Amino acid sequence: MCLAIPGRLEARYEAHGSLMGKVDFNGIRRDVHLSCVPHARVGDFVIVHVGFAISVVDAAEAARTLKLLDALGELDGDGVPEEDESRGGESSAVP
């Protein structure tokens, strides 16, 4: 299953002509494309799917989404998406 998961935008930068961001997923940091949400600011929560931030949400919505994913068993004990063994250990939710 492919999921989109909220993370906190820690930094914005440009790389190879693309707007990028460093996003924190409960201690796991990933580089993501911000082209779909160029208005996102450092400190915002963004929903990320396959390496692209697809929307900006408030902190309360991010918390509700993480709680739901945890209840569905999609997060490990650290609040990070479970690894998908069928994809060679890559997470299906975090790029």
Distance of alpha carbon 50 from alpha carbon 52, whole angstroms: 6
Report the candidate in 85, 82, 15, 81 with the shortest Cα–Cα distance to residue 48: 81
Distance of alpha carbon 60 from alpha carbon 63, whole angstroms: 5
Distance of alpha carbon 18 from alpha carbon 33, whole angstroms: 7
pLDDT, tens digit, for every residue of 46-73?
999 999 999 999 999 999 988 888 888 7
Q: For the stretch 30-57, what's the b/e string if a residue is b when 16 or more beta carbons lie within 10 angstroms of its beta carbon?
A: eebbbebbeebeeebbbbbbeebbeebe
pLDDT band at 2 (very low <50, low <70, confident <90, very high): low
34 contacts 19 by C-beta, under 8 angstroms: yes
pLDDT, tens digit, for every residue of 36-47?
999 999 999 999
pLDDT of 75 strictly over 90: no
Q: What is the pLDDT of residue 89?
A: 43
Matching CATH number, 5-77, of 2.30.30.140, 3.40.50.1220, 3.30.420.40, 1.20.120.1200: 2.30.30.140
Domain ranges of the chain: 5-77
Q: Which percentage of the chain shows pLDDT scores above 70? A: 76
Q: What is the pLDDT of residue 26?
A: 84
